[in-house]
Amino acid sequence: MNFYEVNFDGLVGPSHNYAGLSYGNVASKANAKKFSNPKQAALQGLDKMYALAQLGLHQGVLAPNARPDLKTLRALGFSGSDGDVITKAAKLEPQLLKACYSASSMWTANAATVSPSCDTQDRKVHFTPANLNNKLHRAIEVETTSRILKQVFSDNDYFAHHEPLPQHPLFGDEGAANHTRLADSYNHSGLALFVYGQDNQSDIRPSKFPARQTRQASEAVARSHMLKTENCLFIQQNPDVIDAGVFHNDVIAIGNENVFLFHEQAFYDQQTSVKKIREAYKGSRPLHLIEVSNTDVSVEQAVQSYIFNSQLVSLPNGGMALIAPSECQKINEVETYLSALKQASNPVNDVIYMDVKQSMQNGGGPACLRLRVVLSELELKATNQACLLDEQLYSTLSIWINKHYRDQLSEYDLADPQLLKENYAALDELTQILELGSVYDFQRE
Ligand SMILES: N=C(N)NCCC[C@H](NC(=O)CCC(=O)O)C(=O)O
């Protein structure tokens, strides 16, 4: 049976804004307080999805969380009408209001870890929604994200949904951003490569910025997903690059099928880590381990350009394409490296640049915006078809965005209770378009 990788991109929500909420994420801090353009952001994301669909790839859409998150604000003691809650929070705790207004669920690489059925011992596709424990604005995503995933992959014969890991720093889990699968092809069982920032039993950790993913979290996910021990590898990210702004492994490495592209300084004790990957890989096709040297692209350039946050996709007619952020074209060394990469003897034979600047300014490149789900033909049929992008859905979503989204948002707009009404009206309509039922708190009260 055929298996496909389906990219489920997060639709950028109508409250997309720059709040400087992510300590350790250089772009988030640098662009704090800047005006955002929600409509443009959502259209950029949708255009990326459409471009991939036009390459002949299966493309899915994941609905955003509803913002503002009134449930959290009410739990923190803000009471009265919805408008009262917003007004009081804006006055007394503007930072909390920003956290509850973040559109951060757009970065669905952090929505969950997913293991395809050819890797799991019960032959189901397993999902663990990420607890995103390190940041408040992200930790509040998990409940709704989990509901959405259950609505998209609802058939229990094919899909297994786990509870998120306990909300405690010991089990900080950031989902697929720290997980790569290396295999001969999507049809074959593969090596689940988990990259963690910190092992709670070791002192090797960054000194400045937080390590968001723990080894203990990755191990728990691998256990729940019933992966074979011999098919899992846990390696540590280089703490120094976390301190340089690499807050997830997908900012310094990218894998697809039998290709793994990574920076020379990506991992702790890199030589040993790479040796372990080579030994653990059981495919019969050659594994392409492509190490990018610091002379070709420095860590700083990698963080600025997000070269490793490209999507590496297998094309229907053979070969692979790298879907890179257009910021890569602004740094000579990076562009030169990418031109050489597609000429070199490896499966990557095309580089396609994509403009997702609105997301990039918050530290989210093309790969952050998508959750990869490898599905067999039958599993794909069992998936909510209203969430799969075709010409019709592309056009419906374009109209929906143009109708509901504001052109511009500043932090002061978050204090306006009218924004809440607009957002909820838009999302209510979206759940009908994507046939999700009542996934939002405001629809369930
Ligand atoms: N690399 C991956 N997979 N994801 C990128 C996530 C970016 C996100 N930015 C933010 O949450 C910024 C929000 C703000 O500051 O307004 C984060 O740091 O968690």
pLDDT recorded at residue 31: 97
| Sites in the chain below the pLDDT cut of 70 | none
Considering only the top CATH level, what class is 1-107+369-445? alpha beta
Report the half-sphere exposure of 444 (CA within 13 A, side-chain side). Answer: 12
141, 174, 257, 379: the active-site residue = 174
Contact 207, 220 (CB under 8 A): no
Whole-number Å distance, alpha carbon 276 to ligand 1 midpoint, is 30
Whole-angstrom distance, CA of residue 436 vs CA of residue 148: 7
Q: What is the ipTM of this complex?
A: 0.99
HEC secondary structure over 74-120:
HHCCCCCCHHHHHHHHHHHCHHHHHHHHCCHHHCHHHCEEEECCCCE
Strand 348-354 vs strand 320-325: parallel, antiparallel, or unpaired?
A: parallel
Indicate the residue type of 186: Y
> Which pLDDT does position 222 carry in this prediction?
98
Residues 70, 82 contacting (CB under 8 angstroms): yes
Residues 212, 219: Cα–Cα separation, whole Å = 15
**Is 248 annotated in the active site?**
yes
Give the per-residue pLDDT at 185. Answer: 95
* 367 CA: nearest ligand 1 atom: 3
- Which amino acid type is present at position 427? L
Which of 140, 247, 371 most suits a substitution to test ligand 1, by most atoms within 8 Å of the C-beta? 247
What are the backbone angles phi and psi of residue 301, rounded to the nearest 5°? -65, -35
Helices (H) and strands (E) in the chain, counts: 17, 15
Rounded-to-10 torsion of CA 11, 15, 21, 22 = 10
CA distance 295 to 138: 35
Which ligand 1 atom sits closest to the C-alpha of 132? 19
Report DSSP letters for 321-380, one per residue: EEEEEGGGGGSHHHHHHHHHHHHSSSSEEEEEEE--HHHHTTT--TTTTEEEEEEEHHHH
Nearest to 367 by CA among 411, 292, 308: 308
**Mean residue pLDDT across the chain:** 98
Strands 3-10 and 370-376: antiparallel
Residue-level pLDDT at 445: 79
Give residue 22 CA to ligand 1 midpoint distance, Å. Answer: 6
Helices (H), 262-298: 270-280
Tokens of 266: 């990506």
How much is the pLDDT for 151?
A: 98
Instruction: Look up 174 and say whether it is catalytic.
Output: yes
3-state secondary structure of 13: coil
**Shortest CA distance to 369 belongs to which of 21, 69, 52, 155?**
52
Burial class of residue 188, CB neighbours in 10 A (0-12, 13-18, 19+): middle
Amino acid letter, 282: K
Q: Whose CA is nearest to atom 17 of ligand 1?
A: 22
Q: Facing residues of 322 across strands?
A: 312, 351
Compute the distance from residue 360 Cα to the ligand 1 centre, in Å. 9
- Which residues have any ligand 1 atom within 6 Å of their CB? 18-22, 25, 28, 102, 104, 107, 109-110, 138, 177, 248, 250-251, 362-364, 368
Alpha carbons 435 and 194: distance in angstroms, whole number: 33
